[in-house]
Each structure stands twice: as structure tokens, then as C-alpha cells.
Amino acid sequence: MGEGIQFIGGGNMGAAIVAGLVRAGWEPGSITVVETSHDRRTALAALVPGVTVVDAPRACTSGVVAVKPGGALDACRALAGLGATRVLSIAAGIGAGALQDAAGPSCAVVRAMPNTPALVGEAVSAITGSVRCAPEDLDWAEAVLGAVGTVVRVPEQLMDAVTAVSGSGPAYVFLLAEALVAAGTEQGLDPRDADELVRQLLVGAARLLRDSPDGPEVLRARVTSPNGVTERAIAALEAAGFRDAVRSAVAAAVRRSEELGK
């Protein structure tokens, strides 16, 4: 049996995780990426030197399913058939039970929901194990996804909520960025200046939030002096139903994630 970890699918997410593993010190020679697209194989070879890039799966001891959800069960079955005793799937909406059934009894399957900040090593991923998973299987999956960010463990029934909050979440932040750039431009800023102000605003605020021991309410209160400029803006956002809009967005995403999982 071959050694090492084999990725099925070297697209955006697969490549991001592979690059993260190499950055984290995994031996490139122990990583194989199976990728059907010729152009993508060429790109991968340049992106992650030393990693084996092939067009068909080989024997392996562990695997990562990083194809679109429609191909996830087949990929899981293939990895288990080639000797993998552990498989991590990042395919959205495909349940751990279905993945485990596809893999069969010789292989433990962990399901995960990462997000696109994996591309810059700043993902947050949630993982959940199938009934066959031992604690070591979850530790292994956490080590793989830990190479591109932080990892939380949740019961499977909360994966739709995770998808709605952090899986789709980057899009909500980008929408806020779009709206802020547009509003700033409307107030007379040059669009390029508005773009730069907003990008760095989000980076700065995100780092402050991550690194501060205080919660978002405290950080918000600190920039909101009584009767000041920010207070007026927050009042306008609240009056326009900002919190309700976020609540219904997340609820709608949960419903859609549930539908897609059926």
C-alpha cells in the first residue's frame, strides 16, 4: 500500500489545503493530488513544488475529498478502495453518514465545512465525525485543516448552521465591503481611495476582534462615544433593521443548506 495523504480534487480549496500543509512542514513528497483538469495539474505543479500531481488515484493511507459535492461519494469510495483508512471530506452538504456508507467499514470518514479564507491560511473549519470515527481520526482531520486556519468540532446536526454562518460568511463580509465602498464614493471619495480604506478597515477590525480579549459589543462600544458620529451611524443601521437582516440571511442559508443536503 502507498504511503501518505491523497487529495481528490486540486481546485481552489484542495490546493489551498495542500499549500497549507507544506507551509506547516508536511513533507511535500508524502502528498498526492489527483486532478482531472490538465491545466489545473500544470498550475498545481508550479504552486506546490514537490507534491505529486496525477490524473488518477493511487494507493494511499489517508485521503481528502475536495471535489464538488456531486463527486464526493465516488471519491470517498475510491479512496477507501485504494487503502485509505481515514478520509476527510470538505464537500458541502454531503452528510457524514452517506460518506461513511460510500467508504465502507475499513475507513473512517470525517466531514468538514471550511471557508475560502483557507486561500490565505485564515479559514475557520468545522468538523464532525461519522459513527466509525475514533478521537484520533478527528485529531488527524483537525491537523489537516489546522494547516489553513482554526478548527471547531460540532455535532453533525449543526453543520447547516456552520455553513450559514462561516461557510457562506465571507460573502456577507464582501457584501458589506461593496456597500461601504459605494456609500463612501457617494460621499465624494475617489473609488480607489474608498476601496483601499474599506479593505484595510476590514483587515484591521478583523485582527482587532481576533486578538482582543473583549467581545464585539465591547469593541463596538469603544468606538461609539455618546452623541458622536459612530453612534448616529449605528442608530441608523439598527433603525434599518440590520440585525433582522442578518438573522434572516442566516436562517435562509440554513434552510437552503438543509434542502441541498436532502
Ligand X SMILES: NC(=O)c1ccc[n+]([C@@H]2O[C@H](COP(=O)([O-])OP(=O)(O)OC[C@H]3O[C@@H](n4cnc5c(N)ncnc54)[C@H](OP(=O)(O)O)[C@@H]3O)[C@@H](O)[C@H]2O)c1
| Interface with ligand X, residue 9, by CB under 6 A | yes
Interface residue with ligand X, options 61, 116, 185, 224 (CB under 6 A) = 116
Report how far apart, in Å, the C-alpha atoms of 238 and of each of 98, 202, 234, 262 are: 42, 20, 6, 36
Q: Which residue has the cell 508524502?
A: 30
Sole window of 12-20, 126-134, 210-218, 227-235 interacting with ligand X (rule: CB under 6 A): 12-20
Closest by CA to 180, choosing from 166, 168, 167, 197, is 197
Interface residue with ligand X, options 92, 99, 124, 151 (CB under 6 A) = 92
According to CB under 6 A, which residues from 158 to 177 bind ligand X? 167
| Interface with ligand X, residue 40, by CB under 6 A | yes
3-state secondary structure labels for all residues of 186-204? HCCCCHHHHHHHHHHHHHH
Given its phi and psi angles, is residue 182 left (phi above 0), alpha (psi -120 to 50 degrees) or beta? alpha
Binding string to ligand X for residues 45 to 74, with x set by CB under 6 A, is what? ---------------------xxxx-x---
Q: Which is nearer to ligand X, 14 or 129 (CB)?
A: 14
DSSP 3-state of 5? strand
According to CB under 6 A, which residues from 184 to 223 bind ligand X? none
Q: Which residue has the cell 465516488?
A: 74
| Interface with ligand X, residue 115, by CB under 6 A | yes
Interface residue with ligand X, options 31, 34, 48, 124 (CB under 6 A) = 34
Interface residue with ligand X, options 5, 13, 31, 87 (CB under 6 A) = 13
> Cα separation of 238 and 14, whole Å?
39
> Cα separation of 14 and 90, whole Å?
9
Residues interacting with ligand X, by CB under 6 A?
Answer: 8-14, 34-37, 40, 66-69, 71, 75, 90-92, 113-116, 167
